């Protein structure tokens, strides 16, 4: 082996005790995969068939519970706005009902019932109650809940009336 005083990069050669090209051959050319047979390819389908029903149950269950919660919030808001309108002097039961129905219509609830107690609000009325009832049906954006449980979502709010008349 000959050594130069100032070797160029082309003249520098590393010597390994093994063959350099066979060591790194695997990095350049991937090995051929052994074929495991046709029954191996059905594993993904079986795993999907086992996991998919649970995944979709959790997904649609979450959507259903969110829909129920949104409807409960809308019912509470409608009952509160209706009773709030009824506690001021000069209010009527029809005005309370109209305020509650406006909230329910804005949230696209189609089937509902609004009850105002007392039916005639006058100066002697001490308190006003508004009850909003929404059946759990497919018309009211309920899917699974309408078939599994049914029933109604009900909210009642009662507030004392204000005492003085507005002039």
pLDDT tens string 37-69? 555 567 788 889 999 999 999 998 898 888 889
> Quick one: pLDDT at residue 2?
58
- Count of residues making up the chain: 167
Residue 166 inside a domain? The answer is no
pLDDT in tens, 13-38: 555 555 555 655 555 555 556 555 55
Using 50, 70 and 90 to split pLDDT, how confident is the model at 140?
confident
Could you give the count of Cα atoms lying within 13 Å of 97 in the half-sphere of its Cβ? 13
Q: What is the pLDDT of residue 61?
A: 87
Residues 78-120 pLDDT 10s? 999 999 999 988 889 999 999 999 999 998 888 899 999 988 8
pLDDT at 26: 56
128 part of a folded domain: yes
Q: Is pTM, for the whole model, over 0.75? A: no
Q: Determine, yes or no, domain membership for 1.
A: no
Q: What is the CATH number of the domain that holds 146?
A: 3.30.1300
d(CA 92, CA 130): 12
- Domain assignment of residue 80, yes or no: yes
Domain presence at residue 58: yes
Radius of gyration of the chain from its Cα atoms, rounded to whole angstroms? 37
Domain count for the chain: 1
Q: Which domain holds residue 102?
A: 43-160
Of 146, 75, 152, 147, residue with least CA distance to 106: 75
CA quadruple 144, 146, 151, 155: dihedral sign: positive
pLDDT of residue 3 exceeding 80, the answer is no
């Amino acid at each position: 082996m000959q050594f130069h005083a100032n070797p160029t990069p082309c003249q520098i050669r590393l010597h390994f005790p093994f063959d350099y090209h066979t060591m790194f051959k695997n990095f350049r050319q991937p090995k051929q995969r052994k074929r495991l047979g046709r029954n191996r390819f059905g594993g993904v389908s079986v795993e999907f068939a086992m996991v998919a029903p649970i995944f979709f149950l959790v997904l649609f269950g979450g959507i259903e519970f969110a829909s129920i919660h949104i409807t409960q919030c809308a019912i509470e808001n409608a009952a509160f706005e209706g009773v709030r309108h009824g506690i001021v002097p000069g209010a009527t039961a029809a005005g309370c009902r109209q305020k509650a129905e406006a909230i329910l219509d804005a949230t696209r609830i189609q089937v509902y019932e609004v009850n105002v107690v007392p039916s005639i609000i006058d100066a002697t009325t001490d308190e006003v109650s508004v009850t909003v009832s929404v059946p759990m049906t497919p018309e009211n954006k309920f899917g699974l809940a309408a078939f599994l449980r049914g029933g109604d979502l009900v909210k009642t709010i009662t507030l004392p009336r204000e005492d003085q008349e507005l002039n």
